[in-house]
Structures are given as structure tokens and as C-alpha cells.
Amino acid sequence: MTELLQQVRVIDPVSETDQLFDVLIADGYIQAMASHIPDTSSDIQIRDCRGLVLGTGLVDLYSHSGEPGFEERETLLSLLQSAAAGGFTRVSILPDTSPVIDNPALVAQLQQKRREGKGEGGNFSPLSPPLPKLYIWGAITLDVAGKQMTELADLTSAGVVGFSDGQPLENLALVRRVLEYVQPLGKPVAFWPSDRQLTANGVMRESSEALRLGLPPIPASAETTAIASLLELVAAIGTPVHIMRVSTSRSVELIASAKAAGLPITASTTWMHLLLDTKAVKSYHTSLHLAPPLGNSNDVAALRAGVRAGVVDAIAIDHAPYSYEEKVQAFAEAPTGAIGLELALPLLWQYLVETGEFTALELWRALSTKPAECLGQKVSAIAPDQLAELTLFNPQETWKVERKNLHTLSSNTPWLGQQLKGRVVQTWC
């Protein structure tokens, strides 16, 4: 099918474009792009796209799949459909499933499930989304136990996108050995720096709010000391590293200094850490029990500035589905995490772009081209003769976050029942 998108706002971080164009798409490719493309054929489907945004496809650095082991939370298919409905054309899953993704056979099994999924390829509406590309992080340690390394070379041959446990690795001798082993494999390795001893039984960032709410605190140093240790190892060994889930202002300073010194590191924060701070926890909503915990207002400001400046390279979704029964507990007892694949773009656009704090290009870069670069990949420019990997977004469409309106099987989000502004209209993958 040939489609002509008329007067759509093209946001392309690759070419630094934010401009109105007519865009002609056919057979999976961008055929033409100009200020005006005349309608010369009756076979062309013409769409008036005034007010809509056409951007490069969104890329999620890391999220959690319920399958295998926790299919009541999320299947692989529902995860990918949720990602597609949220505008993502590539999604990467962490290995903390059951069993853990620590062997080539499981990698092959999941990729086969992806290939067998319905709706693969083509373009779609969120009502029946095809599936985005699936990337799989291979576990660093067997059973994510943090004691023995997996066969990293075998997992590389199986096609993992990189290596991460998605959990803190506190054995620094093992971290050093991992950095030495992974160096010749040419795959990214991602760590979540967090000192479990300093975290202890904490569930909320150390603050006056934590005292008022009576919740066990987690000091910012639980993250920053772990980051400092990791940076020392990177400086000594030279292996490129991705730092996950950055959540404190001091962490941003450490990463900025390390980058200025030439260390080969990239970093990401999660979308919820850019939008909410400790004050939100007063609701005791268990979907606000996150790991790492929400920071204070200074942390949020530093993270936003870090993303805009490129110190924090990318925004990750870290989609973590849980069943209703798992989340209906006391705040401190509920598992950490919240869903986000279908909510991140609308909320980030509403609270960062429409307020003028971020430009559209700055947000799109952090959700698209920069996450791809952290994975060692590239995103094609929106230009003639390029593959159409695109997201069409309506910033003005309103919708209600309800179970029936979500593709994910879970609904653990503090925005459940609320009206949102902004929704993905169509995606080419």
C-alpha cells in the first residue's frame, strides 16, 4: 500500500530535522519527502496529518517480559503488542525471567516465538499492532545469582544484543572479570550500580518525606558509591559499559566527569524518574515503589538536565508488569516496578515538551536514536530511499488509561483511571 502523509511534522534526530513535510511511503520504504508532493495516482491513500508528529521509531533499552515463567503478568506477545502501541519499533528484554535467559537454547526459543507472533511486519494501527523487533539481553551470571559467569561467547553466537543481569552485581572481582571477558566480544554490557548493604530494607529515597511517611529510607550513596566503583574498573580495564537506572543528581555529576575524562560509558535513566519525585509517594500507590526509588526534586532536575545535555544518553522504559494480586499489598511489601510502554511517550511529551522544558528533538533523540546507539545500533534517517521505521503520534488525542485500553496484561501504573493527552496513531516497522 502507498500512503501519502500530508503536512506532517517530521522529527528526525538523525538529520536534526523538525519541519513540516509531505511524506510518501510504499513497500516499506520512504519513497519521497518534500514540502509538497502532488497526488498523481488513484492508488495512493492520502492522509491529512496536520497536527501529527512523524518520528523515527522509538527504541526501548530494557524492559521485563513475564514469559517464560510469569505469563500471568505478561506474555512475550502482549509485551511486544504493548510496545508497538506505544510507538516502539524495537524493544529489548532483560534476562530475569524464569528460567533466566542464560543459555543459547532459550534465546532461540524466544526469537522463534517472536517470529511466530501474529501481525508481523507492515504498518498498523494500535488496535491490531504487528510486532516490533525483539532484542534479548543475555544474563551475565547463571540464574542471575551473581556468583558464576554464563558462557558469554555462546550467548554472543546465539544473537543476544548484549549482557546484563538487570540486578546489582556487588562482587567487584566478578565485575572486573566480566569486563575482561566481554571486551573482545563486541557486545554492550549494562550494569545497575546499587549497593545492597546500603539499600538494606529501604523502599524510598532518604528524605524528609520518607520520615513523614514512615517508610524505610535508601540513601543516594547506595547508588553513587556503586557507580564510583564501576567507573574505577572501567578506567582500569577500558571496556565500554552502560550504566542503567541513574536516579540521583550526584550520579549525573560522576558520569559527566567520567565522560569528560574520556571513559567509554553511556548511561540511561527511566521515564518515571524524569516525571515524579518523592512527593508522589504520599499516595502509597504501590506502582510508585520502584528500584531505584524516585528521587527528590533536585534529582529530577539534574536528570532532566543530564538528558538534555547528553550526559544521560537515553530514556529507558523499564516496563515491569505485575499482577493485581502481587501489587495489592503494603507499599514496602509490593514488588518494585510499573508498566510504561504505552504511557511513556504521551506523558513525557505532555510534561516535558508541551511545557517547553525539552524540545521535541531532545525528547525524541533520547527515546530513539540514542538508545539504539547504546545497543550498538543505528536508526535510519527519515529520507527518501530509507527503510520506513517510523512512529506517527498525535499529541492532542485524549484517552483514558483503563485495563480495556491497554495491550499489556498488567495495569500496575499510578496513572490508571486517568485521562492522558497524546497517543500513537500508526507505526511502520
pLDDT in the model for residue 429: 86
Task: Say yes or no to pLDDT of 302 above 60.
Answer: yes
Average confidence (pLDDT) over 353-370: 98
Phi, psi of 9 (to 5 degrees): -80, 110
Which whole number is the average pLDDT over 138-146? 86
Catalytic residues, by residue number, are: 318
Average pLDDT, the chain: 95
Q: How confident is the model at residue 39 (pLDDT cuts 50, 70, 90)?
A: confident
Q: Report, as an integer, the average pLDDT of 110-133.
A: 67
Q: Is pLDDT above 70 for 340?
A: yes
Contact 123, 23 (CB under 8 A): no
- What residue ranges do the domains of the chain occupy? 56-379+407-416
pLDDT (mean) for 251-267: 98
Cα distance from N-terminal residue to C-terminal residue, the chain: 14
Q: Would you say residue 247 has pLDDT above 80? A: yes
Write down the pLDDT at residue 144.
Answer: 72
Q: What is the pLDDT of residue 117?
A: 78
Structure confidence at residue 41 as a pLDDT band (50, 70, 90)? confident
Cell digits of residue 425: 496513531
pLDDT at position 128 is 56
Fold of 56-379+407-416: TIM Barrel (3.20.20)
Strand 44-48 relative to strand 53-56: parallel, antiparallel, unpaired?
A: unpaired
Q: What pTM was estimated for this model as a whole? A: 0.96
122 pLDDT more than 60? no
- Which residues pair with residue 291 across a beta bridge? none
* pLDDT of 2 strictly over 70: yes
Of 317, 238, 233, the closest CA to residue 271 belongs to 317
pLDDT at 414 over 50: yes
Q: According to the model, what pLDDT value does residue 157 have?
A: 97
Report the pLDDT averaged over residues 27-56: 92
Say how far apart CA 395 and CA 376 lie, in whole Å.
30
Instruction: Show the 3-state SS of 48-77.
Output: ECCCCEEEECEEEEEECCCCCCCCCCCCHH
The answer to whether residue 130 scores a pLDDT higher than 80 is no
Q: What is the mean pLDDT of residues 277-304?
A: 98
Question: What residue has cell string 486517568?
Answer: 418
* Closest listed residue to residue 218, CA positions, set 209, 226, 208, 207: 207
Torsion angle in degrees (nearest 10) through CA of 289, 81, 189, 270:
-30
The three cell numbers locating residue 56: 523515527
pLDDT tens track for 56-69? 999 999 999 999 99
**Residue 40 confidence (pLDDT):** 73
- Asked if 170 and 196 count as a contact pair (C-beta separation under 8 A), the reply is yes
**Rounded to an integer, what distance in angstroms lies between the CA atom of residue 213 and that of residue 159?**
46
